[in-house]
Amino acid sequence: MTTTTFGERLAAAESIHGPICVGIDPHPALLDAWGLSDDADGLEAFAETCVEAFDGMVAVVKPQVAFFEAYGSAGIGVLERTIEVLRASGTLVLADAKRGDIGSTMEAYARTWLADGPLGADAVTVSPYLGFGSLRPALELAHANHRGVFVLSATSNPEAAQVQQATVGGRTIAQSVVDDAAQLNPAGQPGSVGVVVGATLTEIPDLTMLNGPILLPGVGVQGGTAEKVRALLPEPLWPAAVPNVSRDVLRAGPSVTALRARLAAFQDEFAFLR
């Protein structure tokens, strides 16, 4: 087991590759665009190409778990192999699972994604909307195993506002998530409890005290740009930003050379963050 925290490993990886997190989202439309079959064989070919293109080239790779689950046990097997190969070579893996539940069920989710099992990743996304305290099993296991957790705070989907922007005790729910996460990150070292904030938003919670990574999905096709991120985050928070791009890179495939070139363009675009 590693003795360095996820926050420390992330900072080290970003110092080499920059802040970009690239997604592996094997959407059926992308499989078709790549000339692949919409089945487990096509999924495996897609994932293997992504691994070849991104392994050792980027700070973080984020498989979107749902697109693998859609193919049943064969899809989960592809996800297992994808995670194993990336982590074995030192590329950080963020499992985009958005898990959120209570009690023993949350404990099981935590063991799945944050332990040394076949789906064990470096970090996982979780949803706090059953109450931040419901995440305790994941947060505790992540701390014990030197893994990371990214907690959904302010997402860009329009339906989110009725929950995330609701106010309780003078704070929005999104702000309370950030504040609760901040309490788990020690001062003086990179935190391992991050939050998820949409890169296409125009208003976000105050992240000043988080001391943890800020995952910014929505870069590229969804409209997130370097200029928007620059405007969204005050400069002191730039080192914490982890812009996430998926489809805008993946649609350059299936050529490994083209995938790497598109990734490199985003790495250059967001180099100002580091």
Q: Residue for token digits 């370097």?
A: 226
Contact 128, 134 (CB under 8 A): yes
What is the bridge-based pairing of β-strands 148-154 and 123-126? parallel
**Residue 166, H or E segment:** none
Q: Which of 98, 136, 143, 247 is catalytic?
A: 98
**CB count in 10 Å sphere of residue 158:** 7
CA 39, 42, 48, 50 dihedral sign is negative
Tell me the C-alpha distance between 174 and 179, whole Å. 9
Contact 80, 54 (CB under 8 A): no
Tell me the C-alpha distance between 211 and 182, whole Å. 6
Tell me the C-alpha distance between 58 and 214, whole Å. 17
In the residue annotation, 62 being an active-site residue is answered as: no
**CB count in 10 Å sphere of residue 264:** 15
Q: What are the phi and psi torsion angles at 64 (to 5°)?
A: -85, 110
Q: Which residues are catalytic?
A: 98
